[in-house]
Amino acid sequence: MKRAVLNRFERVMLQVAPRWVALRAQARLQVQAMQSAYDAIAPSRLRRQRRDMGSGNTVTNGSQRPLRDIARHLDRNHDLSRGILNVLVRNIVGPTGIGVEPQPRGADGKVDQEQAKILAELWETYSRYPEVTAEFNRARSEQLLCRSWFRDGECYWQYVEGNVPFLTHASGLPFSLELLECDMVPMDYSDPLQNISQGIEIDTWGRPQAYWVYKQHPGDPFVGLPELKRVTTERVGHLKLVDRIGQRRGVSMFASVLNRLDDLKDYEESERIAARIAASLAAVIKKGKPEDFAPDSDAAKPDQSRNMPFQPGMVMDTLYPGEDVSIIDSKRPNPNALVWRNGQLRAVAAGTDTSASSISRNYDGTYSAQRQELVEIDQSYAVLRHAFIDMHTCEVYRRFVATMILAGRVKPARGVTYDQFCESVYIPPSMPWINPLDEAEAMAVLEDRAYISGPEIIRRQGRSPQGVLRAQEQWLADKKAAGIPDPQSAKTPTAAAAAARTRAAAQETKR
């Protein structure tokens, strides 16, 4: 052991307790090695030390509600924040919601087309009025849930099945959803004796067993302390945005960018007000020397109404001796504001998994750059799409099928399991084509070479293959009934023939 690592006290104790001194010096060396391993963990005058406050549940316990309230405020009052949520909803759920194409299996393992048709019709009927208020269709309901998911961090819904007192299912099917904001499950309701934490009752493995839900929204007027009810997890769905393993409650997507968005909002308001004030300022009168303003001079007694309305070709002849007029230059609007704003929006886009071009509506740049951004951001959207499908659409559809079986609306074949009968294809919004002609021809080549199937190509466009076939069949029948010939039967020149004629004409021109 080197003497340099021992202080004076340890050198004295070395003769009495050498083992204790050795362990003490070794521990000090380990601490020094840990502190020097990463510069980021060493606090300094310019960098404060950041610590984790505990588990994901400990962190969210006091933070979830304030973050949610700030995010809701920005959604109501900040155009850019509202635009970010609109971009997320459009790309995750889309204008028509998540498409569901039933694929029930028969006893032979193949898709039972007859049962698939029945389930598709029932699902379409349910999608018109899926929730208990009968105010929104399924697409709009999913858009509201998706918006709450990103803005508030989570949302809930309750399954309402069968005959329920004082409720008539608007769709005519014994299945509806009751959409619930996250306020309905109180964050501050915990009871260790009953394993209740943040309004969720869990078992010894941390699996949710029930949710404690308010009977009225705590934010409604004339609601003092709403009554709680216990609802088992079989009747409640939970869509949450989490970053930590074991985290029970979701946190807003805006959590890491709220300060930046709030500062950006204040900065833009300040710049806008400054530009408006600058537009109202016209000129300033510069006075002369102090001796020009003697008490008995005319300059000391100016006319009280010295307004000078500016107009083309005007001549100022009302100035007093020693006065001069100059235009005020307020340096507004700030020419650098847009550059700074775009840089901040790119940082916001990185923290919210959105496209900077989409949230800023700035599409300047080369075609390659725009294409690269679209391709890259689509992967981020795909992760969120599948999370929404797994936690909401898939669970709702499986529960819907179970209810239809119990209600006698559908009957699986003998030997078919429930999981086989619930199989389906979920169709989220797809990335739009940038060059439709080239991409359509590429898809056709892939299908011809059996690299991809026709139904998959149609699903990538956000449509149902069976729906396209039915619509095409009806369209061809209508054209035939109207006497419009089929292009192929009418010997309409194909693209290949047209290209061949173009090449032949070019050769004739050269000759």
Do 426 and 500 fall into the same domain? no
Q: How many helices (H) and strands (E) does the chain have?
A: 16, 11
Per residue in 356-374, pLDDT (tens digit) is 888 888 887 777 777 788 8
pLDDT category of residue 471 using cuts at 50, 70 and 90: confident
pLDDT at 303: 53
Which of the residue ranges 74-88, 245-259, 281-295, 382-396 would you say has the lowest mean pLDDT? 281-295
Residues spanned by the domain of 31: 3-41
Do 478 and 413 fall into the same domain? no
Do 233 and 371 fall into the same domain? yes
**Of 249, 236, 62, 58, the residue nearest 149 (C-alpha):** 249
Average pLDDT value for the chain: 84
Where among 373, 403, 432 does a domain terminate?
A: 432
- Whole-number Å distance between alpha carbons of 391 and 368: 35
Q: Within the chain, what is the greatest distance between any pair of CA atoms?
A: 114
pLDDT category of residue 336 using cuts at 50, 70 and 90: confident
Per residue in 41-87, pLDDT (tens digit) is 666 777 776 677 678 888 888 889 999 999 999 999 999 999 999 99
pLDDT at 492: 46
Read off the pLDDT of each residue in 482-499 and give the average, rounded to a whole number: 60
Do 9 and 144 fall into the same domain? no
Structural domains counted in the chain:
3
**Residue 511 reports pLDDT greater than 70:** no
Q: Is residue 354 part of a domain?
A: no
Do 74 and 201 fall into the same domain? yes
Whole-structure pTM value: 0.79
Do 111 and 250 fall into the same domain? yes
Reduced DSSP (H G I as helix, E B as strand, rest coil) percent helix, strand, coil of the chain, to 5: 50, 10, 40
48 secondary structure, DSSP code: P
Which of the residue ranges 122-131, 190-199, 346-355, 500-509 would you say has the lowest mean pLDDT? 500-509
Read off the pLDDT of each residue in 304-321 and give the average, rounded to a whole number: 68
pLDDT at 488: 59
Q: Is residue 316 part of a domain?
A: no
Read off the pLDDT of each residue in 452-477 and give the average, rounded to a whole number: 82
Do 102 and 169 fall into the same domain? yes
For residue 104, say if its preceding peptide bond is cis, omega within 30 degrees of 0.
no
pLDDT category of residue 401 using cuts at 50, 70 and 90: very high
pLDDT category of residue 203 using cuts at 50, 70 and 90: very high
> Which tokens is 295 given?
């008490």
267 secondary structure, DSSP code: H
Of the CA atoms within 13 Å of residue 294, those in its CB half-sphere come to 4
**Residue 178 reports pLDDT greater than 90:** yes
Beta bridge partners of 236: 158
Do 239 and 161 fall into the same domain? yes
Name residues whose C-beta falls within 8 Å of residue 466's C-beta, 6 or more positions apart in sequence.
Answer: 101, 116, 117, 120
pLDDT at 240: 96
